[in-house]
């Protein structure tokens, strides 16, 4: 059940329609997050706030522009606030997301994607669109779980040639330049190569470290395929 808790922090969508859903973590507990997201002085907000117990607060009407994304871009376009819904998840950024919370998020996403006619590609993290400043929803968020339900995307490596056997072969770009081109095709904004590698791994390989490797390249090629084919990847 979604309970209303209106925030004064919103504006007009400036003629844009919703084509993205951006996921965040709060760092603060629910009470602290609710207070900040409704504080006119803070000038931040989101459309929804989901607590660890699965309770959902509606802070800003979906027809209005919440102030959650800040500077950044996705798919070559900025002003993400005007074309997105923001969902805040109560989490410190270093802990697993609670099961009731994930179930509530999944139910909300199904409803949102259906009502706005969006695909799984529309669901991104704050760190995806602002890789140089943000890390939420963080390394403990289970993106693959969402993808298995058609609520996010995950690259299908089975459809991509083994880069170690066919370096630069069809479907796998060679080197950092190809990796960055694949990320850009999926939607990632322009940023320093190391910054983009970190943001990419935060979502798809949070345990990985070191320089760009074949697995990174193969996963990025899978994202390009999703962008070209319009699918959700390996569900």
Residue 2 and residue 58 in contact, taking contact as beta carbons nearer than 8 Å? yes
Percentage, residues of the chain above pLDDT 90: 87
Question: How far is residue 176's CA from residue 230's CA, in Å, rounded to a whole number?
Answer: 24
Total length of the chain = 235
**Domains within the chain, CATH numbers bracketed:** 2-148 (3.40.80.10), 157-229 (no CATH)
Range 203-209 contact pairs with CB under 8 angstroms and sequence separation of 24 or more:
203/125, 203/127, 203/128, 203/143, 204/143, 204/154, 204/155, 206/139, 206/140, 207/139
Percentage, residues of the chain above pLDDT 70: 91
The structure's pTM equals: 0.93
Question: Residue holding tokens 């798919």?
Answer: 75
Provide the pLDDT for residue 159: 60
Residue 57 and residue 80 in contact, taking contact as beta carbons nearer than 8 Å? no
Average pLDDT over residues 185-210: 97
Catalytic residue among 35, 43, 88, 106: 88
Average pLDDT over residues 121-150: 97
Give yes or no for residue 170 having a pLDDT over 90: no
| 38-59 tens-digit pLDDT | 999 999 999 999 999 999 999 9
What contacts 222, CB < 8 A, 6 or more positions away?
Answer: 155, 156, 157, 159, 160, 233, 234
| 62-119 tens-digit pLDDT | 999 999 999 999 999 999 999 999 999 999 999 999 999 999 999 999 999 999 999 9
Average pLDDT over residues 205-219: 95
Give catalytic status of residue 170 as yes or no. no
Q: Calculate helix-pair angle for 214-229, 175-186, nearest 10 degrees.
A: 30
The first and second tokens of residue 59, run together, are 């802070």
Provide the pLDDT for residue 88: 98
């Amino acid at each position: 059940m979604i309970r209303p808790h209106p925030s004064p922090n919103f504006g007009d969508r400036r003629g844009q329609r919703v084509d993205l859903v951006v996921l965040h973590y709060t760092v603060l507990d629910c009470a602290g997050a609710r207070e900040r997201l409704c504080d006119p002085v803070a000038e931040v907000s989101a459309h929804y706030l989901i607590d660890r117990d699965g309770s959902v607060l509606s802070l800003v009407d979906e027809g209005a522009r919440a102030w959650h994304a800040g500077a950044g871009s996705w798919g070559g376009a900025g002003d993400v606030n005007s074309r997105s819904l923001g969902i805040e998840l109560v989490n410190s950024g270093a802990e697993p997301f609670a099961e009731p919370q994930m179930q509530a998020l999944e139910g909300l996403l199904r409803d949102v994607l259906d009502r706005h006619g969006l695909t799984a590609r529309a669901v991104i993290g704050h760190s995806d669109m602002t890789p140089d400043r943000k890390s939420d929803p963080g390394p403990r968020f289970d993106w693959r779980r969402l993808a298995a339900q058609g609520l996010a995307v995950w690259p299908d490596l089975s459809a991509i040639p083994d880069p170690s056997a066919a370096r630069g072969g069809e479907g796998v770009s060679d080197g950092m330049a190809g990796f960055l081109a694949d990320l850009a095709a999926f939607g990632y904004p322009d940023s320093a190569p190391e910054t983009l590698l970190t943001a990419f791994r935060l979502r798809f390989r949070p345990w990985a470290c070191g320089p760009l490797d074949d697995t990174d390249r193969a996963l990025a090629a899978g994202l390009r395929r999703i962008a070209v084919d319009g699918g959700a990847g390996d569900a």
